[in-house]
Amino acid sequence: MELNAKIPEGPLASKWSKHKFNLKLVNPANKRKYTILVVGTGLAGSSAAASLAELGYNVKTFCFQDSPRRAHSIAAQGGINAAKNYRNDGDSVHRLFYDTIKGGDYRAREANVHRLAEVSVNIIDQCVAQGVPFAREYGGLLDNRSFGGSQVSRTFYARGQTGQQLLLGAYSALNRQINEGAVQSYTRHEMLDVVVVDGKAQGIVTRDLVTGKIESHAGHAVLLCTGGYGNVFYLSTNAMGCNVTAAWKAHKRGAFFGNPCYTQIHPTCIPVTGDHQSKLTLMSESLRNDGRVWAPRTPELAQRLRKGEIKVEDLKEEDRDYFLERKYPAFGNLVPRDVASRNAKEAVDEGRGVGGSGIAVFLDFADAIKRLGEDAVRAKYGNLFDMYYQITDENPYKHPMRIYPAVHYTMGGLWVDYNLQTTVPGLYALGEANFSDHGANRLGASALMQGLADGYFVIPATVGDYLATIGPKPVDANHPAFAETTKAVKERIDKLLSLKGNKTVDEYHRELGLIMWEYCGMARTAEGLAKAKGLISALRADFWKNAIVLGTNDEMNQSLEKAGRVADFLELGELMVDDALNRSESCGGHFRVESQTEEGEALRDDENFAYVAAWEYKGDNVAEALHKEALVFENIKLAQRSYK
């Protein structure tokens, strides 16, 4: 199958507007004859569902949480980028486009990223109109702050709770449509499969998590807005419920998976304290505006610090290595996430780590407090400092924070074309669930931007084209495909429920996470990846023999829910490893030890790897087929990324 990204012809800046004109429209009276199923209700899902319902389509939304507004977009802290240039600091759509392509280490599509930068300005307008309380200056206008990977201030924020406020905004728009009867909201429902009829996605199968009822829902298009798969690492900054199941089932039904190995390890997270840990907590990147990252200059000093022989306060200025400022004077502490993370790992690997485990570096606010005063620092970051204090029982106003990178975001996801359609017609992927806009590394404050861009502005235009093509005739819910898919779902549940082994599902998940972190984490080698592949497939085989899954289907059964999700992670993990093994270059968050510059930076191989790796499922225990979508750069010159 030939991958067609459907990127419009013409100059970069006019591609989107021209494309919108060329897309077919659905007559307003016909819109109500279409039903669109939206799975996942984070920023992408809520904004898409609301916008489509406003247009007149019938929409059904599904989320596994007890309310659409609890989707994990809510936890995004720092902000959302937009090329508004309100600061007069030289920002523009083109600069946001450029920063994003460069930040993604030249592994994203130019056309998609430019569109993202274009609509970024509309997103802010939309959110403000909904009543999102962004931070403001005394003059009443919107405030901005800086984020990693850019030298302009273009990040809009709402204290440390930007994701929450944006999601509540999108959710309020969704509520308005629910109130008007245009959207039916299904909560505590988990999607377990896609129904494909004659090659087109025409429905989904869900499980009601309260009653266990397996239901099928028919629709003219299915939008997967189901987020990323970072929980394959077990420990991540994702919510406990985040999972790959919806995307994975879609993959198994024919949707190609793009760049699965691209995962983002976020530099500023609270370090792991013990093996009881269930998740990791992120401290917003915005902290790097004022916090300085450092480690003791020598392993000896670090060791004495760990043993408690000396205190942080005793370390003289020359014994502190502000390694980001030292190595990257131009961007300093605000280098992109992959660079910051790798450098923290390097310091720890050199034995210069701090904290009980020695797996952490410092993020120090002493200078900022001296310069701005404690109150000003509190006003900017108060909730983050409180959060740190709650978790570590250590006062960050007095002592430097300890941080370490943690899995945060997955740039990879379902392969989509310019219309956000997967390789299955009628099946779309939006937000983190798709692979499209961030290349090999996502810049801070861009996830919220992409989720909302896809939902508010892209999908309302592109889905109409498909719907107009297939016509408004009702979807036949009695088509055998519905019964078949439902049967397959039930059989899998029965199979899971029959597992009465001796190892808990969490144990498998933790074990998988350790393998992934060790071999497919911040640094990857061919040898390690090959080893991981064997380990994962052995673990998966063991899971299907020895896992414990309790209870029945007809009840609230967390044991069953978890088992289904972990089973899918066990399959995805292997694909990630395959992809990482295939991509023997380094780029962005994907660091192959074999491919680095003399200074230890990620070394790309544009000649051989300037492509999107899109994987096609070929059947259980059969190697997936690799399809390549060549990345063409017409407007940007590929260069070794430098933040020095």
Partner 1 sequence: MSGHMNLTLKVWRQKNENDRGGFITYKATDISPDMSFLEMLDVVNESLVKRGEDPIYFDHDCREGICGMCSLYINGRPHGPKRAITTCQLHMRSFSDGETITIEPWRSAAFPVIKDLATNRAAFERIQQAGGFVSVGTGGVPDANEIPIPKVIADEAFNSATCIGCGACVAACKNASAMLFVSAKISQLALLPQGQQERYQRAQAMVAQMDEEGFGNCTNTGACEAECPKEISLTNIARMNREFFSAKFFKEEEIR
Size, binding site for partner 1 by CB under 8 A? 85
Q: Which of 419, 327, 345, 380 is nearest to 146 (CA)?
A: 380
Among 96, 295, 387, 614, binds partner 1 (CB under 8 A): 387
β-sheet bridge partners, residue 35 = 58
66 binds partner 1 (CB under 8 A): yes
Q: What is the dihedral of CA 407, 413, 418, 419, to 10 degrees?
A: -110
Parallel, antiparallel, or unpaired: how do β-strands 263-269 and 401-410 relate? Answer: antiparallel
Which tokens go with 386?
A: 């409180």
Among 50, 204, 522, 560, binds partner 1 (CB under 8 A): 50
306 binds partner 1 (CB under 8 A): no
CA angle, 359 as apex, 378 and 146 as ends, to 5°? 40
Among 7, 13, 23, 142, binds partner 1 (CB under 8 A): 142
**Scanning the structure block, which residue is given the tokens 């959302």?**
80
Closest to partner 1 by CB, 155 vs 423, is 155
Q: Which of residues 74-133 bind partner 1 (CB under 8 A)?
A: 74-75, 84, 86, 122, 124-133
Which tokens go with 329?
A: 């004077």
First vs last C-alpha separation in the chain: 42
The single residue of 145, 288, 320, 337 carrying the catalytic annotation is 337
Residues found in the chain = 644
Closest to partner 1 by CB, 393 vs 598, is 393
Q: Least Å distance between CB 275 and partner 1?
A: 6
Which tokens go with 619?
A: 């059947």
144 binds partner 1 (CB under 8 A): no
The Cα 462–Cα 124 span in angstroms is 21
Which tokens go with 12?
A: 């970069």
Among 59, 158, 221, 401, binds partner 1 (CB under 8 A): 158
Reply yes or no on whether 337 is catalytic. Answer: yes
Closest to partner 1 by CB, 11 vs 140, is 140
Q: Least Å distance between CB 347 and partner 1?
A: 23
395 binds partner 1 (CB under 8 A): no
Q: Least Å distance between CB 393 and partner 1?
A: 6
Closest to partner 1 by CB, 79 vs 588, is 79
β-sheet bridge partners, residue 217 = 204
Contact 529, 579 (CB under 8 A): no
542 binds partner 1 (CB under 8 A): no
Among 333, 559, 586, 595, binds partner 1 (CB under 8 A): 559
Contact 386, 281 (CB under 8 A): no
Contact 520, 577 (CB under 8 A): yes
Q: Least Å distance between CB 301 and partner 1?
A: 25
CB neighbours of 75 closer than 8 A, spacing ≥ 6?
163, 164, 237, 239, 282
Q: Which of residues 240-259 bind partner 1 (CB under 8 A)?
A: 240-241
Contact 406, 237 (CB under 8 A): yes
Closest to partner 1 by CB, 77 vs 410, is 77
178 binds partner 1 (CB under 8 A): yes
Closest to partner 1 by CB, 131 vs 600, is 131
Stretch that binds partner 1, among 8-16, 173-181, 312-320, 601-609 (CB under 8 A): 173-181
Contact 210, 556 (CB under 8 A): yes
Q: According to DSSP H, which parts of 108-195 are helical?
A: 110-130, 162-179
CA angle, 413 as apex, 425 and 59 as ends, to 5°? 50
162 binds partner 1 (CB under 8 A): no
C-beta atoms surrounding 533 within 10 Å:
21
The Cα 370–Cα 201 span in angstroms is 59
Q: Least Å distance between CB 29 and partner 1?
A: 18
141 binds partner 1 (CB under 8 A): yes
550 binds partner 1 (CB under 8 A): yes
Q: Least Å distance between CB 454 and partner 1?
A: 12
Closest to partner 1 by CB, 65 vs 486, is 65
In three-state secondary structure terms, 243 is coil
Q: Which of residues 180-239 bind partner 1 (CB under 8 A)?
A: 185, 187, 210, 237, 239
Q: Least Å distance between CB 435 and partner 1?
A: 24
- Please state, in angstroms and as integers, the Cα–Cα distance from residue 498 to each residue in 38, 56, 421, 558, following that order: 31, 45, 37, 15
Among 139, 308, 480, 619, binds partner 1 (CB under 8 A): 139
Closest to partner 1 by CB, 179 vs 478, is 179
Q: Which of residues 257-286 bind partner 1 (CB under 8 A)?
A: 273-279, 281-282
Q: Least Å distance between CB 204 and partner 1?
A: 21
400 binds partner 1 (CB under 8 A): no
Closest to partner 1 by CB, 223 vs 282, is 282
Q: Which of residues 585-614 bind partner 1 (CB under 8 A)?
A: none
- Please state, in angstroms and as integers, the Cα–Cα distance from residue 157 to each residue in 41, 48, 283, 449, 497, following that order: 21, 22, 15, 12, 45
Q: Which of residues 496-525 bind partner 1 (CB under 8 A)?
A: 502, 504-507
Q: Which of residues 446-505 bind partner 1 (CB under 8 A)?
A: 456-457, 460, 502, 504-505
Among 135, 359, 477, 488, binds partner 1 (CB under 8 A): 135
DSSP3 helix / strand / coil % (the chain, rounded to 5): 45, 15, 40
The Cα 196–Cα 199 span in angstroms is 6
Among 65, 245, 263, 423, binds partner 1 (CB under 8 A): 65
Contact 547, 605 (CB under 8 A): no
Closest to partner 1 by CB, 164 vs 486, is 164
In three-state secondary structure terms, 439 is coil
Q: Least Å distance between CB 60 and partner 1?
A: 15
563 binds partner 1 (CB under 8 A): no
The Cα 630–Cα 322 span in angstroms is 39
Q: Least Å distance between CB 123 and partner 1?
A: 9
- The catalytic residues are 337
